[in-house]
Amino acid sequence: MGKVLVSASHYDTLCREAWKLLEEHGHQVIYDPSRSFPAYSQEELKIVLRDVDAAVVGLDQYTEEVFAHAPKLKAVAKFGVGTDNIDCQAAARHGVKVLNAPGMNANGVAELTLGLMIDLFRGIVPLHNKILKGEWPRYMGREIKGKRIGLLGFGAIGQLVAEKLRGFSAEVYAYDLYPNEERARELGVTMAGLEEIIETCDAVSIHIPPSKESYHMFDGKLLDRMKDGAYLINAARGALVDLEALAEKLKTGKLSGAALDAFEVEPLDEKAPILSCENVLVTPHTGGETYEAYRDISLCTAKDIIRVLNQEEPVHWVNKSFWEEGRGV
């Protein structure tokens, strides 16, 4: 019935159920496991998409020009949540529904966030590295118990982080533009203002989406307002943090440490100033990289692609408002 181009990694090994589901509904999956990621340049997409009905997108850039060369394309599904590499308005103008898989990788990101937090408080990785060098250091860490932990964003991931922190007896505070007061009460979370979170918490964990307004939100001025000796964890989006400003605050001791899983430019430049800080922990945007998340994301996107190709309304339709405006539906 339709051709589905997949440019998300490990689709042939970790997403077999989704692949089978698409085939059972009569669709042909086009996937090249030999490609690195991003899998296709824009020039390549303009060629390969000519005869494609839907796409599962990893890191490839889907722009106005790309959509203009894809006359049969009906759906583009991001293998994850953030659709910043897809021009949603351009997609709408060309009659393409943009889909995603919200919440499917939330637990993986939440677990990584907690792992990063524990490492920052106890210095696990730095101690491990010292032992490998033949050292046997005495190091005084900190406990999460009784600490004020601030969550910037209280959506699916923030709520899961809060739920897991309950077992550590931490005092959890959260800020959100649209606070879920009922869920906060269930989890013992105190909803607070942004200033209170920044200025009073022992650790601040970022869980908000990127936007023009939030670009480099954590700049030098905001970092200066954080509690002396606090920790910063960012497993959301790299553009939220000014890395040069953060490196300065880490080196001066304003902050005790930071853990980062997302960066404005990826891969991170090996000469980036942040890497010269001894009190930083970095991971290669691996929050959603779990076997469980890949299965759930692939099935979620496959089901919505099937709906679109069956001329049904998808569940997770990111550009619905743009599409309706542009198409007059």
Question: Which pLDDT band holds residue 270 (cuts at 50, 70, 90)?
Answer: very high
Q: Residue 19: its pLDDT value, please?
A: 98
Q: Residue 210: its pLDDT value, please?
A: 83
Assess whether the previous peptide bond of 38 is cis (omega < 30° from 0).
yes
- In tens, the pLDDT along 27-63 reads 999 999 988 878 899 999 999 999 999 999 998 999 9
Q: Residue 312: its pLDDT value, please?
A: 97
Q: Residue 157: its pLDDT value, please?
A: 95
Crossing angle for the helix pair 291-309 and 106-122, to the nearest 10 degrees: 150
Q: For the whole model, what pTM was predicted?
A: 0.89
Structure token pair of residue 31: 């996937």
Mean pLDDT across the stretch 206-225? 94
- In tens, the pLDDT along 72-85 reads 999 999 999 889 89
Question: Which pLDDT band holds residue 329 (cuts at 50, 70, 90)?
Answer: very low
d(CA 186, CA 148): 18
Q: Residue 327: its pLDDT value, please?
A: 59
- Return the active site residues: 237, 266, 285
Q: Residue 284: its pLDDT value, please?
A: 95
Which position has the token pair 């505070």?
173
90 or 266: whose pLDDT is higher?
A: 90
Mean pLDDT across the stretch 170-185? 97
Q: Residue 211: its pLDDT value, please?
A: 85
Kindly report the backbone phi and psi dihedral angles of residue 307, in degrees, each rounded to the nearest multiple of 5, phi listed first: -60, -45
Say whether pLDDT at 248 is over 70: yes
Say whether pLDDT at 233 is over 80: yes
d(CA 166, CA 182): 16
Structure token pair of residue 166: 């309950």
Q: Residue 266: its pLDDT value, please?
A: 87
> How many percent of the chain have pLDDT more than 70?
99
d(CA 136, CA 153): 39
Q: Residue 328: its pLDDT value, please?
A: 42
Q: Residue 326: its pLDDT value, please?
A: 61
Q: Mean pLDDT for the chain?
A: 95
Do the beta carbons of residue 99 and residue 76 sit within 8 Å?
A: yes
d(CA 85, CA 96): 15
